[in-house]
A = this chain, B = another copy of it.
């Protein structure tokens, strides 16, 4: 929690007040208690990142649809995304069901509310209850998580046809933020530059597009979801194995997480892939003296190729 949250949630006195009330904790104390339950997780940012990444990827269903941009989802899919986040978040934190709301956290009912644009729609029945407000922006690779008790005063007037209302600009000041700019794991395909994206979209989905992905995107971690979305089929490892064979004549290597891969990635100053991810590069034999990082493969030294350097077939690697 950042410093200015103290304006709205002063822990000391309220905690004391709550203690005095026994089983009827003060309402302010509830927010602190639930916030503390979450912030007690040392890997909290990674967990929320995984919740949003997983939810977005599952609903986009790239392996079947080739989609990687949440903006192209249909309305029913966007609506469902909120339910998916609720389910994935529940599983990620092992949360029980609340008495009236989605979750029970530290003995407090908490409702899950997800919104792509941070304009949470609050239903009438949430009034008086705590809401876990969640938003994810896939293009900027950031997410937001906050806690607030829903009161009339923090909501906009009016409401939509379902009698749901937004949190007003003034009301947002009442939110206790767990993350204002949490780091969302990048959506590789969404974040490609236009030239690379066009190069991908110029070949049809399948092995050819997977080849193109590893031919074009070098020195970056490429995850399983990017591969199955380019392939529009399951079994990313198989697609990667085939791409290795097909790109070897061009000098492109695709490093994984085991055998010779970590050593080669480390020596060439490439990102070192974890399980289920890969990193590609085009390599050429080291040209005598060079200031580029080198790696020995077999009997020869290699460097990452510079643009324009002539092709040289990749050496045999134990991937």
Query: A residues touching B (Cβ–Cβ < 8 Å)?
Result: 61, 64-65, 74, 76-77, 79-80, 82-83, 87-88, 90-91, 232
Contact = CB atoms under 8 A, between A and B. Distances in A.
B83 A76 contact: yes
A64 to B, nearest CB: 4
A76 B87 contact: no
- What 4 A-B pairs are tightest by C-beta distance, nearest first? A80-B80, A64-B91, A76-B83, A76-B79
A246 B90 CA distance: 29
A76 B82 contact: yes
Contacts of A91: 64-65, 232
Per assembly, the copies of the chain total: 2
Nearest to A84: B61
A76 B91 CA distance: 19
Contacts of A232: 91
A80 B76 contact: yes
A88 B64 contact: yes
Nearest to A92: B64
11 contacts: A64-B88, A64-B90, A65-B87, A65-B90, A65-B91, A76-B76, A76-B82, A76-B83, A77-B80, A77-B83, A79-B79
Contact of A83 (B74, B82, B83, B90): B74
A90 B87 CA distance: 26
Given A61-B87, A64-B88, A79-B79, 4 more contacts: A64-B87, A65-B87, A76-B83, A77-B83
Nearest to A161: B161
A232 B80 CA distance: 21
Contacts of A74: 83
Contacts of A87: 61, 64-65
A231 B74 CA distance: 32
Contacts of A61: 87
Nearest to A233: B91
Nearest to A89: B64
A50 B73 CA distance: 24
A42 B36 CA distance: 59
Nearest to A64: B91
Nearest to A54: B64
Contacts of A82: 76
Contacts of A90: 64-65
A63 to B, nearest CB: 8
A313 B91 CA distance: 36
Nearest to A65: B87
Contact of A80 (B64, B79, B88): B79
